[in-house]
């Protein structure tokens, strides 16, 4: 992988999807989704499908078309960060599921990013960019 340079964070949030929830979209930005509880299926337009469960991440590259859905009996609570990178790079060329080994640490770091993004104190963008670089480092270590 070539050098990854982040341009900006577009948004970061925590979200709870109810059982049976589905959402069809084309990702306009790169995204990292970390599952706090439940599970969800990412169905890509090329026919590939990935289930992500508690303690797992999925990296979704920019321009990925997919349907995201929960099972009928279980919801999906997760944290998401969407961002832009310089050039055509990214963590991986296709949506990639990553099992995080140090789940408690990773969840704390990701939660910190979402918190700082939500509170928007002075210099929150700079703080969040630093945290996102740490998240990417932790994920690349797992790949």
pLDDT digits (tens, 9 = 90+) for 91-110: 999 999 999 889 999 999 99
| Residue found by looking up tokens 């469960």 in the block | 53
pLDDT at 44: 94
| Residue found by looking up tokens 């959402």 in the block | 23
Query: Could you give the count of Cα atoms lying within 13 Å of 131 in the half-sphere of its Cβ?
Result: 23
pLDDT reading at 1 higher than 90: no
More confident residue, 59 or 88: 59
């Amino acid at each position: 992988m070539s050098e990854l340079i982040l341009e900006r964070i577009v948004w970061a949030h925590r979200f709870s999807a109810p059982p049976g929830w589905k959402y069809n979209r084309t990702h306009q930005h790169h995204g990292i989704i970390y599952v706090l509880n439940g599970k969800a299926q990412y169905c890509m337009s090329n026919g590939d499908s990935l289930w992500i469960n508690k303690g797992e991440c999925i990296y979704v590259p920019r321009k990925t078309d997919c349907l995201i859905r929960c099972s009928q009996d279980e919801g999906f609570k997760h944290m998401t960060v969407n961002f832009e990178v310089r050039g055509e790079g990214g963590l991986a060329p296709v949506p990639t599921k990553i099992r995080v080994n140090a789940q408690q640490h990773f969840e704390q770091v990701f939660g910190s990013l979402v918190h700082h993004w939500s509170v928007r104190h002075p210099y929150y963008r700079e703080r969040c960019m630093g945290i996102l670089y740490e998240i990417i480092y932790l994920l690349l270590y797992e790949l």
